[in-house]
Structure 1
Amino acid sequence: MTVQLTNTQTRDVEALLHPYTNAVTHRATGAHVIERGEGVYVYDDQGNRFLEGMAGLWCCGLGFGDEELIEVAQAQMAKLPYYHLFGGRSHEPAIELAEKIKDLAPGMSRVFYQSSGSEANETQIKLAWYYNNAMGRPDKKKIISRVKGYHGVSIVSASLTGLPYNHKGFDLPVDRIHHTSTPHYFRGAHEGETELEFSTRLAHELEQMILAEGPDTVAAFIAEPVMGAGGVIVPPSGYFEAIGPVLAKYDILCIADEVICGFGRTGEWFGSQRLGMQPTSMSMAKQLTGGYVPLSAVAINADMASVIEGYSGEIGTLGHGFTYGGHPLGCAVGSAAIDIMRRRDIPAHVRSLEGEFQRRLRTYSDNPLVGEARGVGLLGALELTPGGRGTFDPVGKVGAFMAAELLKNGVILRAAGDSIVFCPPMTITADEVEELFAPIENCLNATLHWAKSEGLMS
């Protein structure tokens, strides 16, 4: 249905091409224009307030309008608004933030900066190839990702992503990228199979893929500790503990994509620590600066650092980098964000709320529209199904309807297919958690009624 667009909405459709948006539908309905933010809330240009249950795009972990981050940004802009790290130049904010990342990230030795999570994961693959060339293994270049994994939208990072909309129309994935099974017990387990048995089977499937491709051709395995855009899929018990020995057996790098899980979201500093993953390198972004400034980082262990640094000496340079990688504004804000997270002990705050947050999620498990309620820390999802383990046809229509119902009730959540996903600012209070969940039951029931009226379920 076409609506009368405001002046701002008209300007928007005539000037912008929006990501992850149906441009034809958008032209008819117009943009939802957000004007300002405060704490866990954002306000649109009509004065309506919304509890931002997704922290923007999984990134504003410290909420909106943090005065300390704003003051740090203003001071850095006045002192050194831009400089780079090319050709051996540096600046204090980049050094200080790298030291803090190393201090928090177990086993990491060097930090390389970019501007986004996509760029971080693109860098990961280039470094894995560079590393294996340095080691005299020019054929060891294939990367194994997972179906439903999300690792970005640049050419290689989108190929790592295991979601169809990131491939359709773009001639992706590219060669050298392969996808193994999603560790989703609810969807993938055989009848009677325990979580540990499921994890063991998936590790065996991974090993069979490696053997089929040839271990001497496989460079790295990349995984989110908890899969975000794929629907907040929490791996089953023993999953990474079963995967790790397979990777070690065939000398395959283990890349942890911590872009969503990092900096306290799961109740530990990094999701790898919470989920039993032992990475050789880590990608981070989003909450690295609380979402306030674009910045990402790749952290690598001492072995990779030694090999890569030595190879740059043979070649004459490390021929990779970004104009805004290590931007002083981003690094200053990132350093301040880590200070705030440490001072407030954000991981402990997340753990203090996790029990009630996850309990509230699971109270909806008996709703006839909910197939599974799942989550860890302050991440969660309600997977909507037409009953049992079935899926809606078409996928995504029911999830989109419920997200729209929630918006009418003052809560912004996101539909990942037909899973409603939760990722509020980590500064959220117990009372705000209650406010977040308050409209869920009514919106589920409204969506259930609509789905039946549309013939999508009986």
Structure 2
Amino acid sequence: MVASLNPNRTDLGKMDTESLWHAMVQHRPFSEKPPKCMKRGVGCHVTDAEGVEYLDGVSGLWCVNVGYGRQELADVAYEQMVELAYSPLTMSHEPGIRLAHKLLALLGYEGKVFFSTSGSEANETAFKIARQYHAQTAAAGSGPRYKVISRYRGYHGHTMGALSATAQAERKLKYEPLVPGFLHVSPPYAYRFGEGRSEAVYNAACLRELEQTILYEGAESVAAVIVEPIISGGGVIVPPEGYLRGVREICDRTGILLIYDEVVNGFGRTGRMFGHQHWGVQPDMICFAKGLTSGYMPLSATVVKQPVFEAFMGEPGSDSHFRHISTYGGTPVCTAVGLRNIEILEREGLPERAAEMGDYLLGRLQELLDHPNVGDVRGKGLLLGIELVKDKESKTPLEDAGMKAVLKQCMDHQVIIGRNTNTIPGFTNVLILCPPLVVTREQADHLADTLHKAISTLHARG
């Protein structure tokens, strides 16, 4: 049957349940109540098809950094579509050139930028680069360096290689066996594993585990270590001072490439343009997506330092070039939007705003630490997490029903917040806040007040 060209809301709900496969949710309840159909977004708010407005406390999927409804981003996309909608990067085009140049200028080093369409793809690209780099720089007779080390609770994507690097058991369930050669070590998670040790002592223990893992595996077999400067979807875990410096030093001693996954951390989210800038430690490769275009267009980037790129230089006809391509990676429209998005971030001082409003919102949320079910409140900039527990002494994670109750209370009060769902079995107990960087103090107060009310119901429920 052919659907109406102008279906009403009832028709849309029926069409939705009949045809659309939604991400990360069980569909059985949709037969009675279809998912919310969003119609419009302005600033920090989205409005559904019923006309109900919600404060978006998670920026869509961590990505709408400059807020919704930016006319100039629509305009630049339209203008570029009219002029040149598509051109593959086997050749070149001006928006791609200018955006690549801008990213390197912001990072402050020489290198090259490879464009893709998603964070998963950016990380897959980095893994392939790491393996080929070592294959082309290894001493004669040495074995392949192919292993990649990541941290438990870290998320690096949903494609098979990126999922193999992701150390969240629920994400991998029923998809294994995955790609061989991916290993995991403990994250720097002081709230659960600090055990009363000083930050310096705990940090040393985390780094020692990484170094021992490399030793046991054989450094000559390890191609790369990948880390999110701040673990995001795994529960907003901020590393101790000295951690990234220590990881960098270990990689330098063992000839391993260091990759930063800044898919969530990047483009002002943490109060700096890039998350790693809080610690002043540079990687060999860095992966971006999400805030690169604030979700207005699908675009990601894998940036490599010049010494890494030079290993791919060779004579025409040789196989030393990077044999990898993304059909829609770095199209003229996407890169034009990315360039204007960065212009907005700089022009409006949004990384600095994220630092200011993040400190304010963190302070409001830390008031919740007096509540018996709030174990920890943490984060940087507008990337914040609230870990809920049954009681503070045991730190037993709050059960699923309690977590769902808090999210529902917030939604009932027209506030959307996040949670680390489908990550670690039994430990999906962290509420996540990452509103658009244009959030006002009034809106931050509304977020905090709504969370105070929602979490207070936990105690009332016993």
What is the TM-score when the length of structure 2 is the normalising length?
0.92
Q: In the alignment, is the contact (CA less than 8 A) between 2:226 and 2:260 conserved in 1?
A: yes
After superposition, the C-alpha distances for 1:219-242 in whole angstroms (9 at most, x for unaligned) are: 100011111110111112221122
Q: How far does residue 83 in structure 1 lie from its aligned partner after superposition?
A: 1.3
Give the distance between the partners of 1:217 and 1:266, measured in 2 at CA: 34
Count of residue pairs the alignment pairs up: 443
Q: In the alignment, is the contact (CA less than 8 A) between 1:203 and 1:243 conserved in 2?
A: yes
After superposition, the C-alpha distances for 1:305-334 in whole angstroms (9 at most, x for unaligned) are: 111233886316431011001111110000
Letter in 2 for 1:429: T
Q: In the alignment, is the contact (CA less than 8 A) between 1:115 and 1:325 conserved in 2?
A: yes
Give the distance between the partners of 1:170 and 1:279, measured in 2 at CA: 30
Sequence identity percentage? 35
Number of the residue aligned with 2:93: 91
Give the distance between the partners of 2:281 and 2:454, measured in 1 at CA: 36
Q: How far does residue 21 in structure 1 lie from its aligned partner after superposition?
A: 1.1
SS at 2:419 equivalent: strand
After superposition, the C-alpha distances for 1:365-416 in whole angstroms (9 at most, x for unaligned) are: 111111101111111011110001433475x442222111101011100111
Query: 2:417 aligned with 1:406, yes or no?
Result: no
Q: Structure 1 195/108 Cα, relative in aligned 2: closer, same or farther at 3 Å?
A: farther
Which of 172, 196, 212 is residue 167 of structure 1 equivalent to? 172
Query: 2:210 aligned with 1:206, yes or no?
Result: yes
CA RMSD of aligned residues (A): 1.7
Q: How far does residue 189 in structure 1 lie from its aligned partner after superposition?
A: 1.3
Letter in 2 for 1:92: E
Which of 31, 35, 59 is residue 35 of structure 2 equivalent to? 31
SS at 1:111 equivalent: strand
**Higher mean C-alpha deviation, range 291-300 or range 423-432:** 423-432
What is the TM-score when the length of structure 1 is the normalising length?
0.93
Which of 428, 431, 438 is residue 420 of structure 1 equivalent to? 431
Number of the residue aligned with 1:185: 190
Q: In the alignment, is the contact (CA less than 8 A) between 1:289 and 1:334 conserved in 2?
A: yes
After superposition, the C-alpha distances for 1:190-226 in whole angstroms (9 at most, x for unaligned) are: 2x30111111100000001000100100110001111
Number of the residue aligned with 2:366: 362
Give the distance between the partners of 1:196 and 1:428, measured in 2 at CA: 35
Which ranges in structure 2 are unaligned for 5 or more consecutive residues? 1-8, 421-427
Give the distance between the partners of 2:220 and 2:144, measured in 1 at CA: 7
1:124-135 equivalences under 5 Å are 124-135=126-137
SS at 1:225 equivalent: coil
After superposition, the C-alpha distances for 1:264-317 in whole angstroms (9 at most, x for unaligned) are: 111111111113432111000001011100000000001101112338863164
Letter in 1 for 2:155: Y
1:428-439 equivalences under 5 Å are 428-439=439-450
Which ranges in structure 1 are unaligned for 5 or more consecutive residues? 453-458
Q: In the alignment, is the contact (CA less than 8 A) between 1:108 and 1:281 conserved in 2?
A: no
Give the distance between the partners of 1:412 and 1:311, measured in 2 at CA: 54
Number of the residue aligned with 2:245: 241
Q: Structure 1 106/180 Cα, relative in aligned 2: closer, same or farther at 3 Å?
A: farther
Query: 2:451 aligned with 1:440, yes or no?
Result: yes
Q: Structure 1 408/67 Cα, relative in aligned 2: closer, same or farther at 3 Å?
A: same
After superposition, the C-alpha distances for 1:405-448 in whole angstroms (9 at most, x for unaligned) are: 10101110011121110000011122221122121111001234
Number of the residue aligned with 1:383: 387
Give the distance between the partners of 1:341 and 1:276, measured in 2 at CA: 21
Q: Structure 1 287/318 Cα, relative in aligned 2: closer, same or farther at 3 Å?
A: same
Give the distance between the partners of 1:20 and 1:13, measured in 2 at CA: 15
Which of 64, 81, 85 is residue 81 of structure 1 equivalent to? 85
Q: Structure 1 112/138 Cα, relative in aligned 2: closer, same or farther at 3 Å?
A: farther
Give the distance between the partners of 1:384 and 1:270, measured in 2 at CA: 28
SS at 2:69 equivalent: coil
SS at 1:299 equivalent: strand
SS at 2:435 equivalent: coil
Number of the residue aligned with 2:201: 197
Query: 2:72 aligned with 1:68, yes or no?
Result: yes
Number of the residue aligned with 2:309: 305
Query: 2:294 aligned with 1:290, yes or no?
Result: yes
